[in-house]
Structure 1
Amino acid sequence: MTARVAVVGEVLVDLLWRTGSPEARAVPGGSPANVAVGLSRLERPVTLLTSWGDDPPGALVDAHLAGTGLDVRRLPTSGPAKTTVALAYLGEDGSAHYDFLTSWAPAELHLPDDTTVLHTGSLAVAVEPGATRVLELGRRQRALGRLVVADLNVRPAVRPDRAEYRALAERLAGVVAVLKASDEDLGWLYPDLDPAEAAEALRALGPELVVVTRGAAGAFALTAEHRVDVPAPAVTVVDTVGAGDAFQAALLDDLAGRGTVPLDPATLTEVLRRCVRCAALTCAREGADPPTRARLDAPE
């Protein structure tokens, strides 16, 4: 298992505030960082390219990343670096809603030479000036023949202008080979379309594959010729933090292993079933705590 995934994007501190609790709990996270941890647990070679500040939240991030065993490249920034802080409000059903204090301004983006797949998304493609630099990186890497993958992970609190965010998503769709979004992402971006219509609108802009997660309803994938749907396994949900990132880690692990985008229905069904299982196992644990390869691939 030598094919490497390079993950470009934010690491941050989540302040988890559960309904009814008088206190928040600080937990290091961030979608790209969670994806990188998930890939590492799946025993996939992975490098995380990210940045954080020399501030109290940054000290927590620094200790967290040191404990993961990840290959981390701390990017130089254009201007003073600050650590992004996310306020995550947890409902009684375990669902999370976010607000952000953001900083994302990488000055240089150089991938490891053995990179097979580039993954990005979330704040890294929404917060300037880093977003434009990441999109440019994606264009260059796809031109070189590398698989470029993104997770929209829409954050309206960061870009509340719907038309502006939709334009950003459509630019991103024109860069990547594989695009993942949740039905909530698509519902916010395209309130007049159902998730399948919105996914098809994005697929028509360039991706070979668009994958849509639907929480407890499972996931579906669209290619130019096929649609594949899979249900989610039933689990007792502790919270949903990191579930989408665990799904994405399993998807990237498969893409890196194949070196190509799976397009036939039988293969896509197999891939999606593993991804939804990875997400479900994460929902059964507190916080962004994705499974190991042995746990994911154990008989059900």
Structure 2
Amino acid sequence: MNAGTRIAVVGESLVDLVWRPGADQIRPVPGGSPANVATGLRRLGRPVTLVTSWGEDPPGELVARYLAGTGLDVVRAATASRRTTVALAYVDKESGSATYEFVPFWDPVDLPLGDDVRLLHTGSLAAVVAPGAGKVLDACERLHGRPGRAVSVDLNVRPAAQPDRAAYRAAVGRLCAVTDVVKASDEDLRWLWPDRDPADSARELLAFGPRLVVLTRGAEGAMACTPDCEASVTAPEVPVVDTIGAGDAFQSALLDSLLTEGRDGEPAVRVPDTPEELRVLLERPVVAGALATTRSGAQPPDGDELRAALEKRGARARGRDGDTGGA
């Protein structure tokens, strides 16, 4: 594969202390949204580098062992504090969804990015936790607008890390202004703008400058909008174990679907320009996200799993059309 197709995923590595209802123990799980997205991209066959940091502490030792076993190309940025972010994840018994509290440390001294990076993806804590958020914004600004380069952001809003709504909104605005593709969940946008419908908030994010905004709606599916069109798809019905990493699996498949081949003069990502193309774009991510919910923890699908699930979804859709006289 052309070296110029390389993706850099920039952001925090952390340890989730997972607390399940009725459990006698809290289970430490290393990872974090950026690592999950990078792992998902690698499983889909994309060359990807994770630019992250962790500290010289017990959680950092766990992160180091975990990342060494992923097979990812990892660039470790030096940190000022030498500490590792820790999150307490409460898993809901009924829905399998998780809520979080954080002890965040995101203070990389610098963020080394190679010249072959065509797509920079970031978001989550890295976009709002100072002082590292400033360096992330600088990196996005340097890449955004360059020929054959693109920037992607998953807002992945974490109020526990930044409870000031106004400050969070300001950070989102600055980041979206130097981003080509923005993903957010309905929960993200409902917290940022509680007086608006999340779909309206997603459309309004386009005013900052991104070419594509994608809104995930959990079991309801997803919506995508551009300045010229929008479309929605439903999600597959699956038995849910938990939702940890589902949004990250969605994000990996979305980026994989958007990336071009990296030929000279070609943009890094191709954004659909019709509603039907947007619907096609959303199919792979919603299926990838659904597959991730059927397993415990962040386990994004590989390419074979995703293809098989998409074929099954397509066969079911054709069967329904046949039952109702459709094409």
Q: Same fold (TM over 0.5)?
A: yes
1:203 aligned onto 2:206: yes
Letter in 2 for 1:280: A
Partner of 1:38: 40
2:269 pairs with 1:260: yes
Structure 1 residue 80: Cα displacement: 2.5
Match of 1:81 in 2: 82
Q: Which amino acid aligns with 1:84?
A: T
Equivalent pair of 1:4/1:256 in contact (CA under 8 Å)? no
Distance in 2 of aligned mates of 1:236 and 1:211: 24
User: SS at 1:212's partner residue?
Assistant: strand
Q: 1:90: which partner in 2?
A: 91
Tell me how far 1:178 sits from its aligned partner: 0.6
What whole-Å deviation, never above 9, does each CA across 1:73-115 have from its counterpart, x for those lacking one? 00022x2321100100001021100000110111122212221
For residues 106-185 of structure 1, what are the structure 2 equivalents within 5 Å?
A: 106-145=108-147, 146-185=149-188
Q: Give 3-state SS (helix, strand or coil) of 1:143's partner.
A: coil
TM normalised by structure 2 equals: 0.89
Aligned to 1:49: 51
1:260 Cα offset (Å): 2.2
Instruction: Note if contact 2:127-2:137 (Cα within 8 Å) is conserved in structure 1.
Output: yes
Separation (CA, whole Å) in 1 of partners of 2:173 and 2:134: 13
Task: Report the Cα offset of residue 170 of structure 1.
Answer: 1.2
Q: 1:170-207 deviations in whole A, cap 9, x for unaligned?
A: 11111100100000000000011101111122111110
Answer yes or no: is 1:192 the counterpart of 2:192.
no
Letter in 1 for 2:121: H
Where in structure 2 are there 5+ consecutive unaligned residues? 262-267, 313-327
Task: After superposing the two structures, state which structure 1 stretch, 116-125 or 254-263, moved more.
Answer: 254-263
Please name the residue that 2:252 is paired with.
Answer: 249
User: Quick one: distance in 1 between partners of 2:283 and 2:82?
Assistant: 39
SS at match of 1:119: strand
User: By how many angstroms is 1:167 displaced?
Assistant: 1.2
Is the 2:81–2:107 contact (alpha carbons within 8 Å) kept by the matching residues of 1? no
The letter for the 2-side match of 1:291 is P
Structure 1 position 65 matched with structure 2 position 81: no
What is aligned with 1:19?
21
What amino acid sits opposite 2:48 in the alignment? V
Q: Is the 8 A contact 1:117 1:255 kept in 2?
A: no
- Distance, in Å, in 1 between the alignment partners of 2:43 and 2:207 is 34
Counterpart code for 1:223: T
Q: 1:153, 1:296 → 2: CA distance? A: 23
Provide runs of 4+ in structure 1 moved above 6 Å: none
Q: Is the 8 A contact 2:81 2:105 kept in 1?
A: no
- In 1, the alpha carbon distance for the partners of 2:140 and 2:306 equals 30
Give the conservation status (yes or no) of the 8 Å contact 2:90–2:99: yes
Q: SS of the counterpart of 1:38?
A: helix
Deviation at 1:163, TM superposition (A): 1.2
Contact 1:52/1:81 (CA < 8 Å) preserved in 2? yes
1:8, 1:128 → 2: CA distance? 15
Counterpart Cα distance in 2 of 1:260 and 1:32: 19
Maintained 8 Å contact 1:208/1:261: no
Q: How many pairs does the alignment contain?
A: 299
For residues 36-78 of structure 1, the C-alpha deviation after alignment (integer angstroms, 9 at most, x for no partner) is 011111111000000001111111101100000000000022x
Report the Cα distance in structure 2 between the residues aligned to 1:138 and 1:222, rounded to whole angstroms: 22
What amino acid does structure 2 have at the position aligned with 1:128? Answer: A
For 2:17, the aligned partner's letter is L
In structure 1, the gaps of 5 or more residues are none
Residue identity (%) = 57
2:7 — aligned with what? 5
- Distance in 1 separating the partners of 2:42 and 2:269: 20
Deviation of 1:143 (Å):
3.4
Pick the structure with greater CA Rg. 2
Which residue of structure 2 lines up, in the alignment, with residue 229 of structure 1?
A: 232
